Amino acid sequence: MHLISLLPLYKLSPSPSFPLTAHTTTPSAREQLLLSAEMELAMSPNLSSSSSISSLAASLITATPNSTSSTVAPAAAVAIVSKCTVYPHRKSDLGDLPLSVSDLPMLSCHYIQKGLFFLSPPVPIASLVSLLASSLSRALSLYPALAGRLCTLPDGRILISCNDAGAEFSYATAASFSLPDLLPPSSDVPSAVKSLFPLDGAVSFHGHFRPLAAFQLTELADGALFLGAAVNHAVVDGTSFWNFFNAWAELCRGGSPAPPDFRRNYFGGSKAVLQFPGGRGPEVTFPVDAPLRERIFHFSREAILDLKSRANCRAESVAAGYLPNTEIYDENSHDQKPVAVNEEEEISSFQSLCAHVWRSVTRARTRLPAEATTTFRMAVNCRGRVAPRVASNYFGNAIQSAPTKALVAEVAGRDLRWTAELLHRSVADYRNEAVRRVVAEWEAAPRCFPLGNPDGAGITMGSSHRFPMYEGNDFGWGQAVAVRSGRANKFDGKMSAFPGREGGGSVDLEVCLAPETMAALLRDDEFMSYVSP
């Protein structure tokens, strides 16, 4: 039984292969120097086994004297109290999992960083840390791929070696911050939130020598908690990420969650190989140090329904040359305007919200030429869009990006209905043929996914308001009070959709913009009229 044990002061017993050293969330100079050495070990042609890679990398770390510095990251004042490797409580018999055509492009992306804030629990922190660690061990037995490592074969194919190398688990304290400090109303997201996540800055290709999953429980000054996760994006998409999180929470409550579907039946038989000359992995495709402002905008159910009613209203439809065959009244009872009822034609609530955001941000980017092209990219879950269908619990990436393009003058100057119709048509047309066409194009020229906004005119919408971020994530001491993400994969125009905590169709949008664009957006009365405090 591979499981950590806890000592009275929360110091976790070290594994024989992974020494425990207390350090801060900012990588030390020693760790940065070891990064290139670990990469060379991981990509050595004589090392085809991830377990060999882990052992050699660990021995290198062991042989290097520990830094005596106890400096805490000044922006966050987060101190790591203990760190350990958690192993699955049962040996895996899953075998190797090849990365699919949807996994491989993510090798240049940062690890997914998402986490949850909780109120102070009614149990001692030592008991809670022990419970989380033991249930994580059981969760890794259910999801053994997250306890593995990436491995590159001599022919260039990359796979997940389910070798039980383990996942990282840390307990930290942030004595300088309480919950209200990190969740200020009507304000930018504090930079300190970024320090609540492990593996900051890790690129998914680093899964050859770093854990594929890492978790950090941080106790704030008022006893509130943050449970942050960093999971390799070449191994999971958002659906798989939150399926695992839900399973972990259910195990923590004593439940028995269903296992995921590990069949490689989402284009898993592709022969395409993504090559990395010289064995050096990719870098992220956007400037990570560009100035950004980040803010959470809350849209209530009522506000979103009002946008949906506007997007589907008959008067605007006629003006656009759109004549639905049937009419009903919108579910927003105070606005009795007829809308289309044909499911293929009705613009959804979320598409209406995205159209509102696209128009508003495009107006706020005052330096864009009117004749420039602006692109709205929306993440699309392909599990139910391909034939044959892929199971909803399929483990891995099964996503693509659906682009919608228009002129800046059109998006900024035409009405909501027009922009929402563009988005609706892009998503509605994204079916089996479109998915397979994108796969064929990628197989003809394998490449990493080009995240970023090089022309300054794009928006990339990730995550989903339908993910079970609150629902199902009660670890036994109550539901989360907020969702936040880390520094990973953020650039001007990157947005993520979260469900609103009150449910009922409300949405929280995490918006990252250049500082001058964010300032202009906050001055936009039409945009802000739909935002709730």
Q: What is the DSSP string of 45-69?
A: TT---HHHHHHHHHHHHHHSPPP--
Domain-located, residue 153:
yes
Task: Please check whether residues 193 and 318 belong to one and the same domain.
Answer: no
Q: Is residue 431 part of a domain?
A: yes
Tokens of 433: 């043929």
Q: Considering the domain boundaries, does residue 242 fall inside one?
A: no
**Is 264 within a domain?**
no
SS3 at position 311: helix
How many Å apart are CA 330 and CA 312, to the nearest integer?
9
Q: Treating both helix axes as pointing N-terminal to C-terminal, what angle do 349-364 and 416-428 enclose, rounded to 10 degrees? A: 120
Packing angle of the helix pair 515-522, 349-364 (nearest 10 deg) = 110
Q: For the domain that residue 413 is a member of, what is the CATH number? A: 3.30.559.10
CA-wise closest residue to 76 among 254, 159, 200:
200
- The answer to whether residue 276 is domain-embedded is no
Token pair belonging to 474: 């009660």
Are 193 and 315 contained in the same domain? no
Domain shared by 113 and 198, yes or no? yes
In a domain, 10, yes or no: no
Residues 184 and 300 in one domain: no
Residue 163: the pLDDT is: 97
Q: In the numeric block, which tokens belong to residue 20?
A: 């425990």
Q: Is residue 21 part of a domain?
A: no
Residue 123 within any structural domain of the chain: yes
Give the domain extent around 185: 29-236
User: Do 461 and 313 have their domain in common?
Assistant: yes
Angle at 462 between CA 457 and CA 468, to 5 degrees: 160
Q: pLDDT by residue for the chain (533 residues), tens digit each?
A: 333 333 322 333 333 232 222 222 233 332 333 333 333 333 333 333 333 323 323 322 222 223 322 333 344 489 999 999 999 999 999 999 999 999 999 999 999 999 999 999 999 999 999 999 999 999 999 999 999 999 999 999 999 999 999 999 999 999 999 999 999 999 999 999 999 999 999 999 999 999 999 999 999 999 999 999 999 999 999 999 999 999 999 999 999 999 999 999 999 889 999 999 877 899 999 999 999 999 999 999 999 999 999 999 855 444 444 333 222 222 222 233 333 345 568 999 999 999 999 999 999 999 999 999 999 999 999 999 999 999 999 999 999 999 999 999 999 999 999 999 999 999 999 999 999 999 999 999 999 999 999 999 999 999 999 999 999 999 999 999 999 999 999 999 999 999 999 999 999 999 999 999 999 999 999 999 999 98
- Looking at the fold, whether 222 and 342 belong to one and the same domain comes out as no
Ramachandran region, residue 95 (left: φ > 0; alpha: ψ -120 to 50; beta: rest): left
Residue 380 sits in the same domain as residue 507: yes
Kind plus residue range of the DSSP H or E element containing 444: helix 432-444
Looking at the structure, do residues 60 and 126 belong to the same domain, yes or no? Answer: yes
Q: How many Å apart are CA 277 and CA 340, to the nearest integer?
A: 53
Instruction: Note whether 495 and 404 are same-domain residues.
Output: yes
pTM of the model: 0.83
- Name the β-bridge partners of 228: 115, 216
Does 204 share its domain with 303?
A: no
Judge contact between 212 and 149, C-beta under 8 A: yes
Continuous segment of H or E residues that includes residue 305: helix 301-312
Q: Which two tokens stand for residue 473?
A: 């994530």
Residues 60 and 202 in one domain: yes
DSSP state of 324: -
Nearest CA to 400 out of 370, 367, 430 is that of 430
CA 144 to chain centre: 20
Helices (H), 124-267: 125-142, 179-182, 238-252
Residue among 160, 168, 129, 131 nearest 144 (CA) = 160
Collapsing DSSP to helix, strand or coil, 375 comes out as strand
- Helix, strand or coil for residue 102? coil
Tell me the C-alpha distance between 324 and 315, whole Å. Answer: 11
**Number of separate domains in the chain:** 2
Q: In terms of domains, do 325 and 407 share one?
A: yes
Amino acid at 533: P
